[in-house]
Amino acid sequence: MGNKKNKAKKKRLEERNQVLEQEIEKEKEDLEKTVKLLLLGTGESGKSTFIKQIRLIFKSGFDEKTRELYKHTIQLNLVKDTKSLVTGMNTLDIDFEPENMSIAREFFNTEVKHCTHETTELKEMIKTLWEDKGFKDCFEKRSTLQVPDTHYYYLDNIDRITQEDYKPTDQDILYCRIPTSGVTVVDFEVEKKLWTIVDVGGQRSERRKWIHQFDDVTVLGYVVALSEYDQKLFEDEGINRMKESMGLFESTANNEFFETLDCIILFNKIDLFEKKLKKVSLKKWFPGYTGEDDDSESAKEFISSEFIELGKNNKRSIHHFYTCGTDTENIKTVIQSMQKIILQVHQNTNSNL
């Protein structure tokens, strides 16, 4: 009787072990087929724009419902950010041209909630302000006003954007700034492998959610906005955005979860960076830079080397690219290079399983 019980117990254990082995094997197969890139960075670095590019390149792009949502956001932002500049005129002690003072006052006192018709009615006012010399001067000094660098794009395209039948183009959507709240996950397939890119909001209030995305990460991605070297943090105007990004990268890259992971840094907004260098000295904010103010090659190499040094160790490699998040062809080229790096890392990781 005892032998029968022992045999039955042994059989159950063997069956249970067989099930566990099958589950482990399946998990291993799934891991071998899945590549996970965790994309981190401070707010407004360009992570969300990168995700939009992924949707354009590997997915079906933006559907009609999404375009309609962006339509209202773009039109509202056009007014909201222009109002921020009008307010900034007083902050920076810049005057409108005398003939535009009453228009500026009327525009500022007009309340717009979220109505296309209201935005259309304000079009001529905004166009007049955009031609004002003082307003343009204020825009050039926007780094202290929390006005997006891309606002000029919508001001230049105001006639098209304020039409009643306006439908945002892909480029309009790429330029649109909507803060990421929570976690955005995009899956796509390339050469029989499932790629998962996870974008977590970069604002300070969102960073506590990052830890929940640490499992099974193949490569750590980090996005830096090069053009923010003279800007202040939205949450704390006493902090330089670039220095905040450097501190965040150092603490993240050297976190116990990531210290052995290869890292890819995307030094983004290279187009805005090159334009800004001609007017705003990098040395003012980073005295350690010894190159010429208008030498974009030296300037970007200085910043990239500063970041790489913060995360360097003998357990992993750090790769970097210079990107223009709104340039789809540029992003396609960068993604191709990233894929080679990530697949090699993935292959090496799985060979050790």
User: Is 44 tagged catalytic?
Assistant: yes
Catalytic annotation, pick one of 199, 228, 230, 244? 199
The reply to whether 49 belongs to the active site is yes
Contact 158, 126 (CB under 8 A): yes
Select from 254, 255, 224 the least CA-distant residue to 242. 224
Kindly name the residue from 180, 203, 328, 349 that is annotated as catalytic.
203
Note if 177 is an active site residue: yes
Distance CA 204, CA 207 (A): 5
CA 105 to chain centre: 35
User: For residue 170, with 0-12 CB atoms within 10 Å meaning exposed, 13-18 middle and 19 or more buried, which class applies?
Assistant: middle
Which residue bears the tokens 């005129």? 89
Among candidate residues 177, 204, 207, 316, the one labeled active-site is 177
Q: Are 95 and 89 in contact (CB under 8 A)?
A: yes
Q: Choosing from 44, 230, 244, 262, which is the catalytic residue?
A: 44
Q: How far is CA 222 from the centre of its chain?
A: 9
Is 199 among the residues known to form the active site?
A: yes
Q: Which contiguous run of DSSP H or E holds residue 200?
A: strand 193-200
The one-letter code for the residue type at 175 is Y
- Residue 231 is among the residues annotated as catalytic for this protein: no
Positions annotated as catalytic residues are 44, 49, 177, 199, 203
